[in-house]
Amino acid sequence: MTDTNMHYSAPADTRSDTVIWTPPFLLFFAALLGLGLSVASLVTHIWLNSGIYSVEQIGIACSAVLLLTWLVALVSARSWWIRGGAAFGCVWALCMLGQFWLSRHGHGTQDAIMLQVRASANSALLASMLCLSIGRIRLKLWDAIVLWLLLLVFCIYLAYSYFKVPGGESSLLFVESRIIPIALYVSTALWWLRPSCWRDQPGPTFLFGLTPIMLFFLFRSDTLNTEQNVFFLQVFFLCLLLGAIRILQGERRSASKAKEKEVIHSDHVTQE
C-alpha cells in the first residue's frame, strides 16, 4: 500500500512538482506581511505629517528593492520561464524607477516621455506575468486557449486603436496610451482566468493577479499625493515583493528536490 501511494504521488516531471510551504516559511511569510504593512503605515504617517520625503522617493526606494529581488530570482532560478519572468521584472523595476524620477523632476502624467515609460513598464509587467504564469504550472488545454485568446485580443485592440487615432494626434502616443490599461487587464486575466494557476500556485496567482488592478487604480487617480494612495502604493510593491519571494522559495524547493533525486540515482548506480 505504501509503495502504491508513493508511486501514485510521484510527479511525472519537474514541471508538475507541487511546492510544499513548510511551517518556517509560513511564519516568515506572515511576519514579512505584517512587517511590510506596519512599515507602509509608518512611512505614510511620516510623509503626511512631516514631509521629509516625497511620494516619488518612496516609489524609487520600493522599485529599487523589487529590482534587487528580481535580480536574485534571475540568478537563482532553475526554470527558464522563471528566469524570463525575473528578467522582465527587472526591466519593469527599471521603468518604474525612471517613471518616479521623471515625476520628481516635474514631468506630468500626460507628457510624451511619461506615457512612453508607463507603456514600457506595463508591457514589461505583462511579459513578466506571462512567463511566471507558465513556469512550474501543469498546463492544460484551457491554459493554451486562454493564453492565445488574451494575446490575440491584445494585438487586435492595439491594431484597432492604431486605425482609430483622432486627427491631429500622434498615432504612436495614442497607441501607447492604450497599451497602459490593456496590459494591466491582460496581466490579471493571465492568472485569474486559469484554474491551473489557482491549483498549482495559489499564492502567486492571488498576489500577481491583484497587483495590476491596484496599479490601474493608483495611476488612474489625478495624483498620488494623498494618504490613501501613498499607503496603497506601498501595499502594491509589498504584494509584488511577497509574490517574488514565493517564487524564490518555490525555486529553492525545486532545486533541493532535484539534488535529492540525483543523490538517490547515484546511490542506485553505485549499488548496481
CB contact at 8 A, 162 and 171: yes
* pTM reported for the whole predicted model: 0.83
One-letter amino acid identity for 15? R
SS3 79: coil
CB contact at 8 A, 145 and 189: no
- Please provide the average confidence, as pLDDT, over all residues in the chain: 85
SS3 88: helix
CB contact at 8 A, 118 and 181: no
| CATH 1.20.1070 is the classification of domain 50-267 | yes
pLDDT band at 15 (very low <50, low <70, confident <90, very high): very low
Residue 63 has pLDDT above 90, yes or no: yes
Burial of 89 (0-12, 13-18, 19+ CB in 10 A): buried
Tens of pLDDT, residue by residue over 100-138, are 999 888 887 788 899 899 999 999 999 999 999 998 888
